Amino acid sequence: MAQIIDGKAVAAEVTEGVKTAAEMLKAQTGMQPGLAVVIVGEDPASKVYVANKGRTARACGFLSVEHALPDDTGQEALMGLIDELNGDPAIHGVLVQLPLPGHIDEGAVIQAIAPDKDVDGFHFTNVGKLGTGVTDSAFVPCTPAGSMLLIESVLGKDLSGKNAVVVGRSNIVGKPMFNLLLAANATVTVAHSRTKDLPGLCRTADILVAAVGRPQMIKGNWVKPGATVIDVGINRIAAPEKGEGKTRLVGDVDFDDAAEAAGAITPVPGGVGPMTIAMLMVNTIVAAYRSAGRTPPVF
Ligand SMILES: NC(=O)C1=CN([C@@H]2O[C@H](COP(=O)(O)OP(=O)(O)OC[C@H]3O[C@@H](n4cnc5c(N)ncnc54)[C@H](OP(=O)(O)O)[C@@H]3O)[C@@H](O)[C@H]2O)C=CC1
Ligand SMILES: Nc1nc(=O)c2c([nH]1)NC[C@@H]1CN(c3ccc(C(=O)N[C@@H](CCC(=O)O)C(=O)O)cc3)C=[N+]21
């Protein structure tokens, strides 16, 4: 039976460090880090995440501002708000919750966020810095950054000689995950919906990262014995065993099956999800330190 990687516990340690760093910044400069989260529309899952982010930000001692806009908000109004937040000296991090309603040009919104407040790490400037290894001034996307800390907690920082397979090639998870694993000296393969023999490829992985969005797709016999399995997926499925109409969260990995083969594995919930929020706090405190002209602590 595999080691179950406790993302909640690692996330709590990280946010404790952020809280201390925020106290230090306040003592030295009087500054309070500020995080603004913008949400458009009424998606209930998005609302839960946004509420979580606000709660954690306050627990870290941050100013937390939430802008909840109606579903029919126009492109200009949203761009206007982003401009305002870009120019607001009390705000160091700006996050626009994705996905946005279909009538809004998501790409244009992401590129409108000032790169030095882009705590999601989605702006071209930050993507380019990560891709070229300029990580000291980049913001790294929160979910891949959190996944790396979980991998490090099992295997250490240097992944030389390890084969990593990332299943999924999105801009927010798969591609930045590839860059981080590569930077840590792993040999990385990125798989996607056109990949041939995905089970066979996954079996070559010492580190297997699942970011697919398909509930429990990755089975135990896809996992190399002893592998480290990171399940990024968050899927809500029907749970009739809990009562009629009830649901539960599962990952992209069939946990019970995969835990038989894996050396270490993240659960869902309680794995990568809490790390995403913790790394958002890290990126925000880093943004605040940089805006004060100070070198941020390393997390
Ligand atoms: N824990 C957290 O904090 C977060 C969790 N998530 C979760 O992670 C998962 C992935 O999210 P995201 O990257 O945004 O998803 P996307 O839908 O943007 O990307 C999914 C990727 O999986 C690939 N894929 C889809 N079906 C298959 C298949 N049958 N075989 C192989 N590859 C396949 C797609 O391939 P192709 O490119 O060819 O279409 C695509 O590259 C979701 O469950 C999401 O909810 C996301 C963000 C944060
Ligand atoms: N601009 C932007 N940045 C994001 O980082 C972003 C986004 N948009 N859109 C949606 C995805 C998804 N995401 C999650 C964050 C926390 C949990 C999380 O805390 N999950 C808990 C469970 C929460 C629950 O019970 O629903 C866990 O896995 O233990 C999950 C998913 C951030 N995302």
Q: What is the residue extent of each domain of the chain?
A: 28-115, 142-274
- Which of the two residues, 256 and 48, has the higher pLDDT score? 256
Q: Are 216 and 171 in contact (CB under 8 A)?
A: no
Q: Are 270 and 76 in contact (CB under 8 A)?
A: no
- For a ligand 1 pocket test, name from 196, 212, 272 the mutation site with the most ligand atoms within 8 angstroms of its C-beta: 212
The answer to whether the 28-115 and 142-274 domains have the same CATH topology is yes
Contacts (Cβ under 8 Å, ≥6 apart) of 84:
none
Mean pLDDT of the chain: 97
ipTM above 0.90, yes or no: yes
Architecture of domain 142-274 in CATH? 3-Layer(aba) Sandwich (3.40)
pLDDT at 135: 84
DSSP H or E stretch at residue 174: helix 174-183
Task: Kindly state the greatest CA–CA separation across the chain.
Answer: 56
pLDDT at 44: 86
48 Cα to the center of ligand 2, angstroms = 8
pLDDT at 33: 98
Residues making up the binding site for NADP(+) = 168-170, 234
Residues lining ligand 1, Cβ inside 6 A: 143, 167-170, 172-174, 191-195, 198, 211-214, 232-235, 252, 272-273, 276
**Ligand 2 contact, 120 CB (< 6 A):** yes
The pTM (predicted TM-score) of the whole model is 0.98
Q: 28-115 in CATH: which number?
A: 3.40.50.10860
Q: What number does the ligand 2 atom closest to the CA of 142 have?
A: 5
271 Cα to the center of ligand 2, angstroms = 11
pLDDT at 60: 98
Q: Which of 47-51, 67-71, 105-109, 147-151 has the lowest mean pLDDT?
A: 47-51
> In angstroms, how far is CA 1 from the centroid of its own chain?
27
Q: Are 97 and 40 in contact (CB under 8 A)?
A: yes
* Catalytic status, residue 53: yes
